[in-house]
Amino acid sequence: MISTDLIKKRILIIGSNGMLGQRLVEFFSSLTDVELMCSSNEDASLTPNVQYSQVDITKKNDVKELILGFFPDFVINTAAYTNVDKAETEREIAWKVNVVGVENIALYSWTIDAHLIHISTDYIFDGKNGPYSENDKPNPIGYYGRSKLASENSIRSSGVRFTILRTNVLYGPAKYSRPDFVKWVISSLRDKKEIRIVTDQINNPTYIDDLVSGIQKICETKKEGVYNLGGQELLSRFDFTLRIAKFFELDAQLVRPILTQELNQPATRPLNSGIINLKAETELNYKPRSIEESLAQMKAELNL
């Protein structure tokens, strides 16, 4: 009789303690046909009862040991330097993590012919003409976006089998992360705090579990190339906030409209952005939930 271990998919999640990473861990650890290995920068896994190895992806030899030691079929890279504003001043570290780290992962994934699934962002675009399809020409306007575009390019030139998944504005029920935008809005409005929200940043916020289901579909279909995996609805951050306030029956009068330039943030934001999901809908049967369905799931799961 053939042992079931032999037919298990071997999946390595890098960045497993991050917001997306921990939700992927929760999902893939529940599947019986998956042998899972988790890895992130911290000493221990935030999600209990999983195989875990601490690795800094900028350290080439450690990445080599991790990938060659586990010999995955799929490497899912969610690790990144994600602080958009700090990336403007901490350029060296942002580059090291987002480019050199990804080069290391791509090299050793290629070495063992693993399929690399890498998460990218709409911040590779300038936000003049969104929403963007997979074929639109990138033109990042901030250092985070430049480093993420460079990471995409390093994967393309590595020779590895890859899928690049571009997403935008993640939210969802990650238990161990810093509060995401939705949780921040809810707690601010419950505390009766006025919040200033931009009316001129347009995108399609993405519920993490939709992205997780898109990643699962890539593992099933082994489709390669670039796919957009965003939310169902394109709207301004201000309108998104009003939808959250309405759903949770909070005081929408506390939500004040402002323009991005009034925030004086170090990094320039793409304004007219967002991503078009048509390719993923057609080829992967990707079906993102509505905002209200997502908020209902968050409410139930997190007791919000």
Interacting residues with ligand NAP (CB under 6 A): 15, 17-21, 40-42, 56-58, 78-82, 97, 101, 119, 121, 148, 167-170, 177
Nearer Cβ to ligand NAP (92/191):
92
Closest C-alpha to 198, from 278, 280, 268:
268
Nearer Cβ to ligand NAP (132/249):
132
Nearer Cβ to ligand NAP (178/192):
178
Smallest distance, Å, CB 171 to ligand NAP? 8
Contact 258, 196 (CB under 8 A): yes
Nearer Cβ to ligand NAP (75/97):
97
Residue 28, strand partner residues: none
Nearer Cβ to ligand NAP (167/232):
167
Smallest distance, Å, CB 73 to ligand NAP? 21
Smallest distance, Å, CB 150 to ligand NAP? 12
Torsion over CA: 276, 279, 282, 288 (sign) = negative
Contact 11, 24 (CB under 8 A): no
User: Residue number with the shortest CB distance to ligand NAP?
Assistant: 18
Residue 203, strand partner residues: 235
Smallest distance, Å, CB 304 to ligand NAP? 19
Smallest distance, Å, CB 97 to ligand NAP? 4
Nearer Cβ to ligand NAP (21/274):
21
| CA atoms of 16 and 285, how far apart (whole Å) | 26
Smallest distance, Å, CB 208 to ligand NAP? 8
Residue 76, strand partner residues: 13, 117
Residue 275, strand partner residues: 132
HEC secondary structure over 216-242: HHHHHHCCCEEEECCCCCCEEHHHHHH
Nearer Cβ to ligand NAP (186/211):
211
| CA atoms of 144 and 148, how far apart (whole Å) | 6
Amino acid identity of residue 42, one-letter, is E
Smallest distance, Å, CB 251 to ligand NAP? 26
